[in-house]
Amino acid sequence: MKRRLKAERRGWFNRVAALALVGAWAAGPQATAAPAPSHEVTFDSHSFLIDGKRVYLWSGEFHPFRLPSPALWSDVLQKMKAAGFNTVSIYFSWGYHSPREGVYDFTGIRDIDRMLDAARDAGMYVIARPSPYINAEVDSGGLPLWLTTKKLNNRSADPEYLRYADEWLTQVDRIIARHQLVDGGGTVIGYQVENEYYLNGEDNRTYMEHLKQKARADGIQVPLLGNHDGAYVEGKGAMEVSGWDFYPQGFDCSNPSVWKPAPDMARSRKEGEPLFTAEFQGGAFDPWGGPGYAKCAELINDSFANVFYKSNIAAGATGQNFYMLYGGTSWGWQAIPQNYTSYDYGAAITEARQFEGKYYEDKRIGYFVTTTAPLLRTDPMPSAWLDDRGLIDIARVNPETGTQFHLIRHADSTSTAQSSARFSVTVDGQAITLPQKAGTTLAINGRQAKMIVVGYPFGAQHLRYATSEVMTAATIGGRDFLVLYGDRGTAGEASFRVPANAQARVVRGAVHSEIKDGQLSLDYTHDGLAEVVVTGGERPLVVLLADRQATERIWRTETAAGPVLMVGSHLLRTATVTGKTLALVGDSDTDKDAIVFGPGATAVTWNGASIPVTPSGAEDGALAVTLPTPAPVALPALKDWQARDGAPEIAPGFDDHAWRVADLTTSNSITNPLSHPVLLADDYGFHTGNTWYRGHFSGAGADVPRGVRLRVLSGATGGAFSAWLNGHFLGSVQRGDDGTFPFPQGWIEKGDNVVSVLTVNMGHEEDYQSRNENRTGRGIAYASALGASDHAISWRIQGHAGGEAAMDPVRGPYNEGGLFGEREGWHLKPGALPQGKPVTLPASEQAPGVTWYRTHVALSLPKDQDTSLGVEFRDPPGRHYRALLFVNGWQMGQYVSDIGPQHSFPIPNGVLLPQGDNTIDIAVWKTEEGPGGLGEVSLVNYGSYKSSMGTPSSRR
């Protein structure tokens, strides 16, 4: 439903604004832990401005609630920063902080202060999105679990809803407010009101106006942003900056090479506001049984970033937020019914915190947009003439510097044709055709866009033009640097204004250079890294010519003494200069050689330890350094498993007298019809995971059921339920809601009989359309006795132990459901599994039911190294089971052997102890009769680097 609406709402247009305003620019906040002075956040038609300086918001979405190791938040933020991101957009999920009505928790993994401090310390601006409704493929779209039983109208001016929403906003705004850039408390520069809200009646506008006023009353002073895609652009409840929401490829990852056209963002421009995507596609989510996140990463790959993100730049966008930049894990029961545990999203940084290919494209573009000042204030200009009709140029110009930005790509942005062209532009007042060198052309591959820069002043230099793309320019230690790049094996040329006495020297690589008439011309083939040093001008110029692969290992970071460039290492996180020492912090792999260009340093440390330095002796001031390499990682096998029965509820003699009697006669659920009494789990306070039902009936008398008909709502296709009579298996239903189970002759006892039903709530629906869909029923919606009155069976119900009142105070409201072992807290108690018996995997069980497995694994992974591990399931064919994976008590995955596609579950360090004893519990619900049970389980290593992140051993 949502997907269709998304396609329809693309048709909104706005006119192009062209307001001339002047300003400088800023690359991002300075990383500092000390309180900063107050600042001003403003905007105009061209860009956001911070203290009057223009800033390109290169932003990525990150959800702290999907990474339950706060020590790793900095890791993700630093990795974003290293790719040129200067902003992080963060949803805050109401339900994550409110386990029950009136209770709010911002401690431990839910510590928003810590999150916002981490963003400040990483030098990132923040767009805060507490909504109250976030969607985000999270249970109830972020509405709290306890709201599933309230009679009110979500996302409206209903006073009852507003009372609760205000309660949340009061709590979260109080924290956000103290981290605003404007009063020096932090780096929050924008605040989003609601999320994708399209309803437009008077009541809806009143609601939006209310939220705006609430934010202001709560002390939010930064601009109020939208993500409403054409709604709330003007009139009552309108946002200050609209914020556009584009997912041009949609969410079906199964045909990743099928592209849809790049949208023209310029149509969304609103006069007086910068063109800003509150969300632009950075990946896609994947459903149960879907093709898997590798395919989503292919659908939204580096070529997609290349064509679509650059097309947005060409349309004049100066703020782009990518959803997701790091997706993470919908751990516990946070996922919506449609999605499985991983929320990797095919994003630039994988769930296991590794770099996907798109990360480097984001970096190439990110460095360009955040360090190329003239890009921040541009107007459309006429296109260049091109000799290939299949190609187009979308051009912009900065009216002050005259800098031109030509985006050359296929007119049909989905085209896979390999093209090459010559094109005409005006350089220094003269029309010239590029490339100038005879026999060469500008190569444009299928699904590629190139941003050609003409007339660009940087430092004390002036680039006339380049057919290579600009990655970044920097002034370091009295020298100007320009990094240009192109595809390996393709021709490139660049031309600079230089003084008459200039001299060029090729320091590395093969480059032809010529100085004539005050112009330096370089021509070359992109191949690894070449370098040319030009002297004789006001300052030396160092030109680095990289091929695309080489750019992956080029890093830029800022210090108080100016920028640093590094060529080499897996990752450069931060740099600081103290006297003559340059302290670098980052991650290294097995390639130990790197070159550093730093401001006047002669000594270098890497993660705190001195490393060998050899000055190049050349005019470029380079230091060759040798980095430490990581130690190999050997993973222990997971063995010595123990197992025990995990479903005593199946046995007729199980004592359920303390269970809640199902006796409610009314429900606020939107699900109909309901049995009487109501059997829906939420109404009894059981909101997460598995819920058991036991229906008792007498085998004597006239009203004896001959079977039972059940409608059980798990949500979407990933759900299931199983039923037993007096310990005999009646059957399971997967991929459906309805089951009819006749009671075989001979199974009915004369006295008490028990039907045991195991159900699962796969998550509550989102409420994208404001129809209270989070109140769709879960558990038994309908139970009818066959051949007897409905009163013949009386039901008891048991889910999460203690219901809402007893949610895990450390792990929060989504960690557990109502399996016997969860209710007993087995997963929270390390040591031997109570009554566990040794077992080897793959297991060979026969009967359907629940078996609880446990093993321990002691890890002593190399120190000062960041190793990302996970748990992987491998099954012999034909096994039918569902498993909950607990690591040290944290429910980090739900595995369904016959639906998939997820087999591999990343476990963040902090949840997993890389230098400690770990307890792994797996609760297996075997849904079918016959040989089966838990398959093979092992640890998997997603990547290991020598790193400042080391291996956080503390959970919080």
Tokens 């031309």 belong to residue: 495
419-448 residues in contact with ligand GAL (CB under 6 A) are none
Rounded to a whole number of angstroms, the minimum distance from the CB of residue 242 to ligand GAL is 14
Residue 888 corresponds to which tokens in the numbers above? 């040290």
Q: Which stretch binds ligand GAL (CB under 6 A): 63-71, 133-141, 541-549, 890-898?
A: 133-141
* Residue 774 and residue 161 in contact, taking contact as beta carbons nearer than 8 Å: no
Q: Which stretch binds ligand GAL (CB under 6 A): 129-137, 168-176, 481-489, 934-942?
A: 129-137
Cβ-based burial of 655 (10 A; exposed 0-12, middle 13-18, buried ≥19): exposed
Residue closer to ligand GAL (CB basis): 280 or 309: 280
Rounded to a whole number of angstroms, the minimum distance from the CB of residue 6 to ligand GAL is 7
List Cβ neighbours of 2 (8 Å cut-off, separation of 6 or more). Answer: 768, 769
Residue nearest to ligand GAL (CB): 135
Here's the x/- map for ligand GAL, 245-264, by CB under 6 A: it reads as: x-------------------
Residue closer to ligand GAL (CB basis): 285 or 423: 285
* Residue 299 and residue 284 in contact, taking contact as beta carbons nearer than 8 Å: yes
Q: Which stretch binds ligand GAL (CB under 6 A): 135-143, 395-403, 404-412, 820-828?
A: 135-143
List Cβ neighbours of 647 (8 Å cut-off, separation of 6 or more). Answer: 758, 819, 820, 849, 850, 925
Closest CA to 370 of 506, 558, 530: 558
Rounded to a whole number of angstroms, the minimum distance from the CB of residue 291 to ligand GAL is 16
The alpha carbons of the chain give a radius of gyration, in whole angstroms, of 30
* Residue 830 and residue 813 in contact, taking contact as beta carbons nearer than 8 Å: no
Q: Which stretch binds ligand GAL (CB under 6 A): 132-140, 215-223, 556-564, 630-638?
A: 132-140
Can you tell me whether residue 888 is helix, strand or coil? coil
Rounded to a whole number of angstroms, the minimum distance from the CB of residue 762 to ligand GAL is 17
Rounded to a whole number of angstroms, the minimum distance from the CB of residue 134 to ligand GAL is 6
Residue closer to ligand GAL (CB basis): 61 or 388: 61
Rounded to a whole number of angstroms, the minimum distance from the CB of residue 336 to ligand GAL is 9
Cβ-based burial of 320 (10 A; exposed 0-12, middle 13-18, buried ≥19): buried
Here's the x/- map for ligand GAL, 196-235, by CB under 6 A: it reads as: x------------------------------x--------
Residue closer to ligand GAL (CB basis): 196 or 767: 196
Tokens 């900056």 belong to residue: 241
Residue 546 corresponds to which tokens in the numbers above? 């990289």
What's at 46, amino acid-wise?
H
* Residue 564 and residue 598 in contact, taking contact as beta carbons nearer than 8 Å: yes
What percent helix, strand, coil does the chain show, rounded to 5? 15, 35, 45
Q: Which stretch binds ligand GAL (CB under 6 A): 52-60, 131-139, 845-853, 873-881?
A: 131-139
Residue 923 corresponds to which tokens in the numbers above? 């609760």
What are the residues facing 404 on neighbouring strands? 397, 454
How far apart CA 12 and CA 6 sit, in angstroms, is: 11
One residue of 137, 523, 620, 816 binding ligand GAL per CB under 6 A: 137
What's at 153, amino acid-wise?
N
136 binds ligand GAL (CB under 6 A): yes
One residue of 135, 320, 445, 726 binding ligand GAL per CB under 6 A: 135
Rounded to a whole number of angstroms, the minimum distance from the CB of residue 225 to ligand GAL is 13
Omega before residue 901 within 30° of 0, cis: yes
**3 state SS for 529-582:** EEEEEEECCCCCEEEEEEEHHHHCCEEEEEECCEEEEEECCCEEEEEEEECCEE
Rounded to a whole number of angstroms, the minimum distance from the CB of residue 106 to ligand GAL is 22
759-798 residues in contact with ligand GAL (CB under 6 A) are none
Residue closer to ligand GAL (CB basis): 47 or 89: 89
Rounded to a whole number of angstroms, the minimum distance from the CB of residue 330 to ligand GAL is 12
Residue closer to ligand GAL (CB basis): 44 or 137: 137
Distances (CA, A) of 217 to 39, 112, 166, 197: 20, 20, 11, 21
How far apart CA 48 and CA 45 sit, in angstroms, is: 9
Rounded to a whole number of angstroms, the minimum distance from the CB of residue 92 to ligand GAL is 12
279-308 residues in contact with ligand GAL (CB under 6 A) are 279, 285
* Residue 186 and residue 37 in contact, taking contact as beta carbons nearer than 8 Å: no
What sections of 648-725 are H helices per DSSP? none
Residue closer to ligand GAL (CB basis): 256 or 950: 256
# of chain residues touching ligand GAL (CB under 6 A): 11
Residue 177 corresponds to which tokens in the numbers above? 């407010």
Residue closer to ligand GAL (CB basis): 23 or 243: 243
Rounded to a whole number of angstroms, the minimum distance from the CB of residue 227 to ligand GAL is 6
Residue closer to ligand GAL (CB basis): 323 or 606: 323
Rounded to a whole number of angstroms, the minimum distance from the CB of residue 89 to ligand GAL is 11
Residue closer to ligand GAL (CB basis): 105 or 196: 196
Positions marked active-site: 196, 279
Closest CA to 18 of 52, 38, 44, 37: 44
845 binds ligand GAL (CB under 6 A): no
Residue closer to ligand GAL (CB basis): 195 or 756: 195
Handedness of CA 896, 900, 905, 911 (dihedral sign): negative
Q: Which stretch binds ligand GAL (CB under 6 A): 134-142, 672-680, 746-754, 908-916?
A: 134-142
List Cβ neighbours of 816 (8 Å cut-off, separation of 6 or more). Answer: 332, 688, 689, 800, 801, 808, 822, 827, 891
Residue closer to ligand GAL (CB basis): 327 or 435: 327
304-363 residues in contact with ligand GAL (CB under 6 A) are 323
One residue of 17, 49, 80, 134 binding ligand GAL per CB under 6 A: 134
Rounded to a whole number of angstroms, the minimum distance from the CB of residue 343 to ligand GAL is 9
* Residue 921 and residue 821 in contact, taking contact as beta carbons nearer than 8 Å: yes
List Cβ neighbours of 719 (8 Å cut-off, separation of 6 or more). Answer: 337, 712, 713, 734, 760, 762
Omega before residue 435 within 30° of 0, cis: yes
277 binds ligand GAL (CB under 6 A): no
- From first CA to last CA, the distance across the chain in angstroms is 39
How far apart CA 595 and CA 508 sit, in angstroms, is: 13
Residue closer to ligand GAL (CB basis): 103 or 199: 199
Here's the x/- map for ligand GAL, 900-939, by CB under 6 A: it reads as: ----------------------------------------
What is the binding site for ligand GAL (CB under 6 A)? 134-137, 195-196, 227, 245, 279, 285, 323
